[in-house]
Amino acid sequence: MYWHLDEDQRFLVEAARDYARAELIAKDRVWDATEQSLGDELPSLAEMGFMNMRVREEYGGLGCSMVVYSRILHELAYASPSVSVTLSVHNMVGEVLQKYGSEELRRQMLPDWGKAESLGTFAISEADAGSDPSSIQTRAELKGDYYVLDGAKMWITNALSGRWFMTLARTGEGKKGICAFWVDGNDPGVERLEIKGKTGIRGSETAALHYTQVKVPRAWLLGEDGQGLEIALAALDGGRIGIASQATGIMEACLDEMTSYAKQRVQFGHPIAERQAIQFMIADSAVELEAARALTLHAARLRDSGEPYTQAAAKAKLFASEAANRVAYRAVQVHGGAGYVNETRVERLARDARVTTIYEGTSEIQRVVIGRGLKG
């Protein structure tokens, strides 16, 4: 279903759907089985235009609305949740640069943002600063025309193939002592340590970063001095729409897989799709998918219209991610023993769904955001 899309927008979404289902499902299985980065797919993703979806046309991007962007992430996640989150993070970082970077920095960086070698990362979390980014310890000291960064980051998506790191670092004390910096990952002093053994989304890169005396030009400060935490939290609002979109893509894939299997699997002389217990699981999943889609697209529409959307994004991310795990559970259950081995796709989708309740703010953090908003 396409809500309020014109012909060109519908073409983009359908192109993403066709490409994803033809090219990514089989590759995603290989990435998962081998814990191999999807980095080799980046040139194809760039050629399709997926790497600069949210960059404005004046800088060479597609200038997609948030609704279209959400729909494309959904279609990509249907085939490969790893691809979807990789692009969600990259496009989110591009938006940060577009909004908070100086005009000189935007003109320098954004025209190449759609290239595979320009992959962006969101280097916020640390070992002791996950849900609470205000407790970061990475430091930046101003020395003449450069800031010098020292510290470590943890659980950073895209950090192996990534070139540009939007990084939070501390220049002073308290929340106002945090700044956002644009860091070149090829500079001396940037060390990347791959994290292996993830439960799911194994094609998506995750790494720890170490900064040792990394020099960042003073002009590469994003926003104002002390605005770093504000920038990061604003970026996460948009990122939550991306992860909600990823979750709905996973849900639709699970629903299709369980429905197809239920029609084929015969027990007691009849397809199990004729059994009420199975019908109820499929029906509940279909309802939750539509509800998650509606919440996600509502948040996307609010952002497109310039209205406040923090609450809507938190609600969409909370519901869609939790529902994705419920639907994935049912999909495995409908498959029975076959759903517990990696020969069937639902086993992989169930593992991929799990992290959607964790990154871009845990479900618990979403409830805090929603609760604070209700209090006023």
Q: What is the dihedral of CA 34, 93, 103, 222, to 10 degrees?
A: -120
| 228/136 Cα distance (integer angstroms) | 11
Ordered alpha helix ranges (H), the chain? 7-19, 25-34, 42-47, 66-79, 81-100, 103-109, 228-264, 276-305, 310-335, 345-354, 363-375
Q: Is 328 exposed, middle or buried (0-12, 13-18, 19+ CB in 10 A)?
A: buried
Q: Are 86 and 116 in contact (CB under 8 A)?
A: no
3-class DSSP assignment, residue 292: helix
| 87/54 Cα distance (integer angstroms) | 11
Convert 330-363 into a string of H (helix), E (strand) and C (coil): HHHHHHHHHHHCCCCHHHHHHHHHHHHHCCCCCH
Catalytic residue list contains 141:
no
Catalytic residue among 41, 75, 360, 364: 360
Question: Which residue numbers are catalytic?
Answer: 360
